[in-house]
Amino acid sequence: MKKIILYLLMVFTIVLMCACSHDTTPNEESNKESNKESNGKSVNNVLVKIPDDIFVSNKKNETISEDEMKASIKKYMDYSHVIDKEMENIIYLYEDATKSDQEKLNTLIAEGEKNDTNFNDFISNNNIPNEYKEPSKTIYEFVSSIRATLIQFEDEIVGMVESGNLTDISNFTSEHFTKANGRQQQKIEKFLDENNIKTTYFDE
């Protein structure tokens, strides 16, 4: 996810294009349905791996060292990277996603939200190094906002596209890219580099 914001905008563009060509003939719809299902099973079923290294900490009102802070940021962002990539694989299917895919997506969403909550509780309820307070908050807001955009993508963006309500799409992107945008990404990447925190989050 080296260029996360650009990727999301690209996905929005793909959905716009799909919506423009959504008006198909009955035969085309029939063919699409037959391609989606074979002997009761979806040929588009996405293979999803739920990682088990979610960020967890039971610490409260404790003083966190710089080394632990670095390790915590890395674990939080690495796990988020895996979860978001798996979510993207399902969302990218758009209208070809199956019920099974949706169930997998719901599991990924729940795990991602737990990861966000655990990390936010950790940085909020402990005494972390001063130089990590603001960057950690920025990282949490960025990562959780990206996931919020992915979560709401199908229900809101797809509905807006199909209804032709482009004003609502503009409002949606403005709202969700306030805390997750290119400028914030550059700020986070600079902080990570300066503190030698190696994470896969911005990798492709």
Q: Specify the pLDDT at position 116.
A: 96
Mean pLDDT of the chain: 75
CB of 54 within 8 A of CB of 113? no
Domain-wise residue ranges, the chain = 4-21+50-194
DSSP one-letter code for 63: B
| Each residue's pLDDT tens digit, 111-162 | 999 999 999 999 999 999 999 999 999 999 999 988 887 777 655 555 555 5
53-79 pLDDT per residue, tens: 899 999 999 999 999 999 999 999 999
Q: Rounded to whole angstroms, how far apart are CA atoms 55 and 97?
A: 29
Q: Read off the pTM.
A: 0.74
Whether the CB-CB separation of 65 and 118 falls below 8 Å is answered with no
Per-residue pLDDT tens digits for 2-12: 455 445 554 55
Please report which confidence band the pLDDT of residue 191 belongs to, taking 50, 70 and 90 as the band edges: very high
